[in-house]
Amino acid sequence: MAKKVYVGMSGGVDSSVTAALLKEQGYAVMGVYMKNWSQDLPGMVCPWKEDYQDAKRVAVQLGIDFKMYDFETEYRRKVVDYMITEYQAGHTPNPDIMCNQEVKFKLFLDTALADGADMIATGHYARTKNGQLFAGLDKGKDQSYFLYRATKEALQKSLMPIGELHKTEVRKLAKKLGLATADKPDSQGICFVGKVGIKEFLLNELGPQKPGPIIDQTGKTIGEHDGAIFYTIGQRHGLDVGGGLPYYVTRKDMKQNEVHVTTDLNDKALWSKEPNLEAVHWINEPPKDSQEYQARLRYRGPLVDCTLKGKKLILKEEQRGLAAGQSAVIYDKDRVLGGGIIT
């Protein structure tokens, strides 16, 4: 009997093609729309109804069953509240990573298995094999960075067929199959990150923040910020301090409500060579101390040669603007070992 696969269908082209490929490969496919967020924001209508209808349309075209799981309450608690708390602590979290850890590869997986699925599938540009995670073949679209907190057990029950393809091939396949989403533009991720900037979202959630001083490397106050939570280490735009050389954010003091900046690109406060990691997670066996690996320190950031010593990441070359709350993901060539959150 064919294995039952529940495919997370977001209403986009990637998950549509994922469902089509798995059906072609002989799986019994069930399309599932995860309703994670439906709240409209100022100047932005959340397109969840449209996405749900698009996913349903594709399911009808493919002749597969379709249902919706409502995860809104859990998503709010596990992803949104986590993100807000992290920003309030002065960190720069990544909600996509938390969404994959808590919702897609935990809540969705558990719900689907309890509902009769043998496996789940997603439209990620990454590859899984025997409970291991590998980068997607399309290096420009690779999403393995966001998936490093998935467990070996979850990956053993997960399929990511488009990880073997390039985006151009996915679009071509969708057109060839006449899928309703073939020409749909890629979404900007979650409703509140993308079309609505993070600042607007935080303002909507928390209201106006207390202004405070922007202090340069000499200790001089050169301007006023409109809330320290809105600034990221290494940030250069949106400081509104005017005049001369660009300023870069070097640190934030949340207790004193200060944002510290520098005009000196060589300022030691901007550069890190040995960041510490917390909440470390390894998918399979942990990496060996002192063996050389590669680290990706932000999505689409370059791979940097590194070694590990316990929870300390030792980078071969100093990196600029590493912010607490961001993830460092460790690779052994194209295999993802896991990673941790920069402190």
Task: Collapse the DSSP code of 86 into the 3-class scheme (helix H, G, I; strand E, B; otherwise coil) and give the result.
Answer: helix
Of the candidates 98, 191, 239, 324, the residue annotated as catalytic is 191
46 is annotated as an active-site residue: no
The answer to whether 228 and 259 are in contact (CB under 8 A) is yes
Token readout for 327 is: 């993830």
Is 191 in the active site? Answer: yes
H/E segment holding residue 32: strand 28-35
CA distances from 253 to 199, 219, 258, 275 (A): 18, 13, 5, 19
Q: Which residues are registered as beta bridge partners of 339?
A: 281, 329
The sign of the torsion formed by the CA atoms of 201, 204, 210, 211 equals: positive
Mark out the alpha helices in the chain (DSSP H runs).
Answer: 13-24, 48-62, 72-75, 81-88, 95-99, 109-114, 152-156, 167-176, 198-206
- CB 296, CB 328: distance < 8 Å: yes
CA distance 280 to 315: 17
CB environment 2-40: b (16+ within 10 A), e (fewer)? eebbbbbbbbbbbbbbbbbbbbeeebbbbbbbbebbeee
CA angle, corner 35, sides to 184 and 82, nearest 5? Answer: 110
Active-site hit among 58, 97, 99, 190: 99
Pick from 59, 299, 98: nearest CA to 190:
98
For residues 147 and 162, give the distance between their C-alpha atoms in angstroms, rounded to a whole number: 15
**Residues recognised as catalytic:** 99, 191
